[in-house]
Structure 1
Amino acid sequence: MADTLTHAAAATRVTREKWSTVRCALEASAERFAALVESVPDPSARATEHWSVAETAAHVTGVAWNYTVLGTAGPRRPVPIPEVRAHMPTTTVDNLAAVLNTTQLRAFTERDPATLVARLRSSIRDLLDRTAADDPAELVDWLGGSRLPLAGIFAHMMNELHIHGRDIARGIRAPWRIPDDEAALFFDLFIVEIARNGVGRLLDDDRPVRRGSIAVEFRSAHTVPARLVLEDGVARAEEPSGRADVRVWFRPAALNLMLFHRVSPVRAALSGAVRISGRRPWLLPAFMRKVRMP
């Protein structure tokens, strides 16, 4: 049986130090992404199977622009791309690409790289300035009824820049690096915190609910040890207790690329960037089918 000795909720990973670090990492990642887009000779070149460089830059810029309304102080402003608002409460991992992302790209029609880069830079600066005095642990409504601390939103935006920057770089055969210490912020501040505060409908799907519990412990050289538990189809975060069904040791950049389907689990395992052990490691695929990224 899965470990049932403790159901203590995980402590928050949001600290003032991590808040300062993720803000700096977001600013640096945005500038690297902007410089990459500016260097592309042909913005119609493919970055992914479905998006050109210009479309990828528009997607990332649109997310950053919409995030400028976030903050825990002062009046809330309308979402700059208002067409996405109606879809946010019903967004799930499975429909995000087809519904929310498609709606945003259809509504946000700018594709000129220079204009997009200018909008991205101003949006990141606006977000940083607007939240400078805010509480990073204050919870913010996110997609599908999920809840995240403000710091987790910053980590998500940083990861958007990391992942899609890599897409563009690979498309034009340019170098791109995702630093492990930055990627670790996505795990600590987004993945653990969304499981700790409530995923809402984000992980809903049509598959039968798997009964029972699967406890997976995650450790790396850059993150706080964490245990994610899937019990009767519901995910939550707990503090590690010394026992788990599966143990995952990972390099944060490699794990993020694997979670977002840029690197296969086999490749990640063969490279040693993700290592699996524990008393019931065969349960990891069932866990990952539910606790997943788009």
Structure 2
Amino acid sequence: MDLALDGLHPLPVPIPYPMKYVNLVLIEGDGLVLVDTALDLPDARHAIERGLAERGARPGDLDAVVLTHHHPDHYGLAGWFESQGVPVYMLDVAIERDHGWWSRFEPWLEQSTAHFREHGMPEAFIADLREVMEATHRRIRPPQNPRPLTDGEDVQLAGQRFTVHWTPGHADGHLVLLRDDGTLIAGDAILDRITPNVGKWVGSRPDPLGDFLRSLEKIRGLEPRQALVGHYGPVLEDVDARAREIERHHKDRLRFLADRLARGPRTAWELSLELFPQEGLSTAQRRFAWAETLAHLVHLQHLGRVRALPETPVRFELVG
């Protein structure tokens, strides 16, 4: 796929998730830079190699790889590129907070297990989930020496000028890149057919949903004329309208949870089964549903509308 984006080339790469593809971006000009990678799987490597070959390049010819965030479908092949001499860049916040998910996996897995248990996950589900997380870890090659970018920094990527913006919420260290002409490389900060997952994970910032809503406001304030997004799309034309639609979606979910808590205290796990009642969700999808429910409950807590009871598993109740 090659759209008329003046040196920006969306590159869809297959992933074994419901979205089917992750959209990488090749920046071409005075050199060649890749934004995001994919999982470390043969199909993904082959798709990237084909996309680069269309531009007369091989993976080792890239000047840099820039990662919007640390989630596996955007980060998994970063170490593969680094092993071929390509420098890998992430936001400094992501290096400090998120990179350790995969570079120090075992401690994170044990801390996550305790977090799952604290917020009501059944033991049998936790056992299945640990297997899923370990399988995902085997599909990831973390970079050994990621290089930092900072919020507000102006960078030259393949001879094109971009400004780095920190947009936490979907991930603590998520970044977007705004080109001088108003084109936004958005990663998963905003999507056009699904809403980015916003979860409260072990060690994450105190109020991920609050972060995410502020990031949507920040993106609107940048007034991008279009955005290249991480899934579906790949081009989102009316960024402002989509951001407002996603904001309304989360307000509806907050109202739903407050209504359910009016009936009595509940755990995040119990409420996730009502907020996401779909049958047939995979173990990973059910984990995302739980984490997003918990993020909404924590946001209500930060607003002073909900409190967490001092018990395990934690139950939340309305204030007043």
Scaled to the shorter chain, the TM-score interval is under 0.3
- Which protein has the bigger helix share? 1
Give the TM-score normalised by structure 2: 0.26
Higher RCO (CA-CA < 8 Å; seq separation 6+): 1
> Which one has the bigger strand percentage?
2
Q: Determine which structure has more spread, i.e. the larger CA radius of gyration.
A: 2
